[in-house]
C-alpha cells in the first residue's frame, strides 16, 4: 500500500476528441437532470451509435446489467454516498470519493462534497475550486485510491472512500497492506491526483 505521493496516470478525458467530449457531457447532463440511468436507445438518440460505441470502448462511460448508460465518470446514475453540489446549483452522485474530488476540474467550477467516513460514518464536508481545497471538515481527511490496472474502473469504486483520519484508513484498508496499487493520501494529495485524472 502506497502512503507517499508518487502518482502518475494518463488523463483519458483530455485525450479524447472534441466531438467525444461534447457527447460525454450530453450524457452527463442528461443523468444529472433526470436523476436516472440512460436507456441504450436514448443514449444512441442523444449522441449517435458510433460515438456511443467509442465512449464505451474508451471506458469514458459504462453500461449496467440492464444495458443502460449508468457510470459516467465522475457521475453515477445511482446513490453512492458521495454527493456533489456544483456552484451552479446542480447536484448529483459520484462513483467514489476520488471522483468527487475531480468534479471541480470536470465541470470547471467550484463545488461542495457531502460524504461520510467509511469507518465511522461521521459526516465529511469538502468545498473545492479548480485550484484546490477551500474547506475540509474534519481537517484530517484521508482518501483511498485503487489503481485499477487492467480492470474496469467501476469495479473498484467501492474501495475508494473518505476517512476522518489516517488511522481510520489504515484500519479499513489493512487487507491491502501489501498491494502496491492501493494508495491512501491526505486530502490535498488526493485532490492533486484527481485533478491530474479529470482536468479536461
pLDDT band at 152 (very low <50, low <70, confident <90, very high): very low
pLDDT digits (tens, 9 = 90+) for 153-200: 445 566 899 999 989 988 888 877 767 778 889 999 999 999 988 988
Does pTM top 0.85 for this prediction?
yes
Residue 1 lies in a domain: no
Q: What is the pLDDT of residue 8?
A: 55
Q: Where are the beta strands (DSSP E) in the chain?
A: 38-39, 62-63, 68-72, 75-76, 83-86, 91-94, 111-116, 123-128, 133-137, 142-146, 162-163, 182-186
pLDDT for res 157: 66
Q: How many domains does the chain have?
A: 1
pLDDT of residue 148: 63
Alpha-carbon gap, residue 123 to 105, rounded angstroms: 23
User: Residue 145: inside a domain, yes or no?
Assistant: yes
**pLDDT at residue 37 tops 80:** yes
Q: Is the peptide bond before 138 cis (omega within 30 degrees of 0)?
A: yes
pLDDT of 7 higher than 90: no
In this prediction, residue 150 has a pLDDT band, given cuts at 50, 70 and 90, of very low
Containing domain of residue 151, as a range?
A: 7-200
97: cell is 470519493
Q: Is residue 2 part of a domain?
A: no
| Burial bucket for residue 12 (CB in 10 Å: 0-12, 13-18, 19+) | middle
Instruction: Give the pLDDT confidence score for residue 4 in this predicted structure.
Output: 52
Q: Is the pLDDT of residue 140 over 60?
A: yes
- The predicted model gives 33-48 an average pLDDT of 97
Is 106 a domain residue? Answer: yes
Q: Sign (positive/negative) of CA torsion 147, 152, 156, 162? A: positive
> Residue 182 has what pLDDT?
82
Position 81 scores a pLDDT of: 93
Average pLDDT of the chain? 89
Q: Is residue 189 part of a domain?
A: yes
Mean pLDDT, residues 121-145 taken together: 96
Residue 36 in any domain: the answer is yes
For residue 183, the domain's CATH number is 3.30.450.410
- Per-residue pLDDT for 80 more than 50? yes
For residue 72, what are the β-bridge partners? 75
Specify the residue for cell string 489493512.
Answer: 174
Look at residue 198 and tell me if it is in a domain.
Answer: yes
Percent of the chain topping pLDDT 70: 89
Amino acid at each position: 500500500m502506497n502512503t507517499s505521493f508518487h502518482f502518475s496516470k494518463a488523463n483519458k478525458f483530455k485525450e479524447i476528441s472534441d466531438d467525444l467530449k461534447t457527447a460525454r457531457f450530453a450524457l452527463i447532463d442528461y443523468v444529472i437532470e433526470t436523476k436516472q440511468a440512460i436507456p441504450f436507445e436514448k443514449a444512441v438518440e442523444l449522441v449517435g451509435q458510433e460515438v456511443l460505441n467509442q465512449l464505451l470502448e474508451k471506458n469514458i462511460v459504462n453500461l449496467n446489467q440492464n444495458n443502460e448508460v449508468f457510470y459516467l465518470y465522475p457521475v453515477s446514475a445511482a446513490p453512492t454516498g458521495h454527493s456533489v453540489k456544483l456552484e451552479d446549483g446542480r447536484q448529483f452522485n459520484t462513483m467514489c470519493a476520488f471522483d468527487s474530488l475531480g468534479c471541480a476540474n470536470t465541470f470547471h467550477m467550484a463545488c461542495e462534497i457531502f460524504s461520510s467516513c467509511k469507518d465511522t460514518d461521521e459526516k465529511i464536508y469538502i468545498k473545492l475550486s479548480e485550484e484546490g481545497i477551500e474547506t475540509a471538515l474534519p481537517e484530517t481527511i484521508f482518501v483511498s485510491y485503487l489503481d485499477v490496472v487492467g480492470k474496469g474502473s467501476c469495479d473498484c469504486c467501492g474501495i475508494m472512500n473518505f476517512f476522518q483520519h489516517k488511522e481510520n484508513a489504515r484500519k479499513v484498508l489493512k487487507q491491502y497492506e501489501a498491494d502496491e496499487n492501493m494508495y491512501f493520501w491526505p486530502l490535498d494529495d488526493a485532490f492533486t491526483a484527481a485533478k491530474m485524472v479529470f482536468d479536461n
